[in-house]
Amino acid sequence: MLVIGSGPAGSAVTKRLTDLGAKVVCLEQGDWVRPGKYPSERANWETELRRYFYPNVRRLPEDYPVTTGGELRAVQMANAVGGTSIHYTAHFPRFRPSDFRVRSLDGVAADWPIRYQDLEPYYDVNDREMGVSGLNGDPQNPPRSPRPTPPLPLGVLGETIARGFDKLGWYWWVADNAIVSHIYDGRPACMSHGKCTLGCPIGSKSSADVTYWPKALRKGAVLRTRSRVREITVNSEGGVRGAIYYDQNGQLHEQLASVVVISCNGVGTPRLLLNSKSKFFPHGLANSSGMVGRNFMMHATASLEGIFDQRMNGYEGARGAVAFSQQFYETDLNRGFVRGYTFQVARTYGPVHEAWGGIVGAPLPWGGRHHEAMRKRFAHVIPLIVQGEDLPDENNRVELDPDVEDSNGIPAARVVYRNGDNNRKLIEHGLAMGRNLLEASGAVEVRNGAIVVEASHLMGTARMGDDARRSVVDAWNRAHDVKNLFIVDGSSFATSSSVNPTSTIGALALRTADGIWGRRHEWS
């Protein structure tokens, strides 16, 4: 069996299938990144923050360009063993049961063909495989198995905002993070130095290169790095037969397989499908519905920062999220929009990031007043993120860029995106409520940023559904059009929820592996 992409999705499918007894080859265009090479180990780590997340800025041979249209300014991702989890913040929430029934509950977007209960056991397995810290007992979410490691410390920052939540009577809970707080699975406990998004140098952050991959490789999975797939090939019956890929010397090969799983993320997956044209699929593989690349979602997001007289020391401690609140998660039409948002209590980076404008992008004054402003701000800030549900819209899309290619001459992806009216109203509400919260917590000043126009949560572009005319994959992540093709990553999300996607991606990937194995008589 062939898996393409080695991030949280591809690694989970590979490990699960290998455990079940399948022979699996994974093709990954990137390479292993040695922790010693992470910018988090270097003195200029903060300036690296500005370039490290962006393939168009890094321009490594393994990156592919992603051009943008509409309001979107940039797409963030990593192309390496472990995929974008090398750089993710590692907040690890789950979808809520309502997220799978948005059409039934609120008359918008779509229902998923599966329910929370279908994914629940896989969320638990994924948490154990990855290594998660957190606290059981969240009263507003379904119970879950004991967290593999205890929660990360709240610190003075978390305790301060918790008092604000309590004062307003708003629900909040300690966040689940894919960062281990104790020694776990041979990995060391987090040392709280806060540079996680640039790559954890000691392996406490649960990126797929240190979680799934070592275990999958020990079990016999084959991971071929610097192997960039150009297209998926089809056989004379219109089933998939394998993939054509470039090795690091630019030589072409075809890897044959009885089953192909695509896990290249919400941009890379539609790009590969659209690049895989044949007489059976003239508009791209698995695209008879025309939905490949459509309904791109990325979360409606904006940030605030509260400035406090006391020190909050936000630069100490793992990034992830300190705490979260889903007080405004579900639809209340009195607010003027549907669905809702999560508050994530974040931490800060270092002084350079703060001088440049911190999480709200408002730079400190340069010159005479700089030191005074810096003394008041740096170490005195609580950052708060408003992350809202982004409704699917067919006009928001991933397509092929006719003018731009990667280093192998393969057409690049172009992502076109505009925030809808619902997003703007939701963010306006979230910023107003966030201001109330920070003031209730004791902030002497509150500043907010604009709605974010960069994408890091890449979803919706090969959506799951029962109706083959309106969706790309079925309830088991199998392509409606091709019985031995599976697609699992954020692209298969029917809706975005207002929580971060990766634990749901991992759970879906494990379930997909079970589905493939359960049908093995169809392709053996």
Ligand X SMILES: Cc1cc2nc3c(=O)[nH]c(=O)nc-3n(C[C@H](O)[C@H](O)[C@H](O)COP(=O)(O)OP(=O)(O)OC[C@H]3O[C@@H](n4cnc5c(N)ncnc54)[C@H](O)[C@@H]3O)c2cc1C
Binding site for ligand SF4 (CB under 6 A): 40, 179, 190-196, 200, 202, 204-205, 318
The H or E element containing residue 387 is strand 381-388
**Which of ligand SF4, ligand X, none does 298 bind, CB closer than 5 to 8 A by kind?**
none
**Cβ 417 vs Cβ 294: under 8 Å:** no
DSSP H helices, 344-484, are 351-356, 370-377, 421-440
**Which of ligand SF4, ligand X, none does 358 bind, CB closer than 5 to 8 A by kind?**
none
Q: Measured from the CB of residue 92, what is the shortest distance to ligand X in angstroms? A: 6
Q: Cβ closer to ligand SF4: 39 or 392? A: 39
Give the tokens for residue 442. 């004791």
10 Å CB burial of residue 36 (0-12, 13-18, 19+) is exposed
Q: What single-letter DSSP state applies at residue 390?
A: -
Q: Cβ closer to ligand SF4: 64 or 324? A: 324
Q: Cβ closer to ligand X: 8 or 434? A: 8
Q: Cβ closer to ligand X: 337 or 498? A: 498
**Cβ 179 vs Cβ 204: under 8 Å:** yes
**Which of ligand SF4, ligand X, none does 500 bind, CB closer than 5 to 8 A by kind?**
ligand X
Strands 485-487 and 260-262, sheet pairing: parallel
**Which of ligand X, ligand SF4, none does 27 bind, CB closer than 5 to 8 A by kind?**
ligand X
Beta bridge partners of 400: 413
Q: Measured from the CB of residue 277, what is the shortest distance to ligand X in angstroms? A: 15
**Which of ligand X, ligand SF4, none does 441 bind, CB closer than 5 to 8 A by kind?**
none
Q: Measured from the CB of residue 299, what is the shortest distance to ligand X in angstroms? A: 10
Q: Cβ closer to ligand X: 321 or 355? A: 321
**Which of ligand SF4, ligand X, none does 190 bind, CB closer than 5 to 8 A by kind?**
ligand SF4
Helix (H), strand (E) counts: the chain: 12, 19
Strand ranges inside 82-218, DSSP E: 173-174
Task: Please state the φ and ψ torsions of residue 438, each to the nearest 5 degrees.
Answer: -65, -35
Q: Measured from the CB of residue 169, what is the shortest distance to ligand X in angstroms? A: 27
Q: What is the CA radius of gyration of the chain?
A: 22
**Which of ligand X, ligand SF4, none does 426 bind, CB closer than 5 to 8 A by kind?**
none
Q: Measured from the CB of residue 452, what is the shortest distance to ligand X in angstroms? A: 11
Q: What single-letter DSSP state applies at residue 479?
A: B
Q: Cβ closer to ligand X: 199 or 434? A: 199
Q: Measured from the CB of residue 406, what is the shortest distance to ligand X in angstroms? A: 9
Q: Cβ closer to ligand X: 84 or 303? A: 84
Q: Measured from the CB of residue 156, what is the shortest distance to ligand SF4 in angstroms? A: 17
Give the tokens for residue 272. 């590969």
3-class secondary-structure state, position 368? coil
Number of neighbouring beta carbons within 10 Å of residue 113: 17
Q: Measured from the CB of residue 214, what is the shortest distance to ligand SF4 in angstroms? A: 17
- State the Cα–Cα distance between residues 69 and 398, nearest whole angstrom: 10
**Cβ 219 vs Cβ 19: under 8 Å:** yes
Q: What does the binding site for ligand X look like in residue numbers (CB under 6 A)?
A: 4-10, 27-30, 53, 76-77, 79-80, 83-85, 87-91, 197, 228-229, 263-265, 268, 272, 456-457, 489-490, 500-502, 505
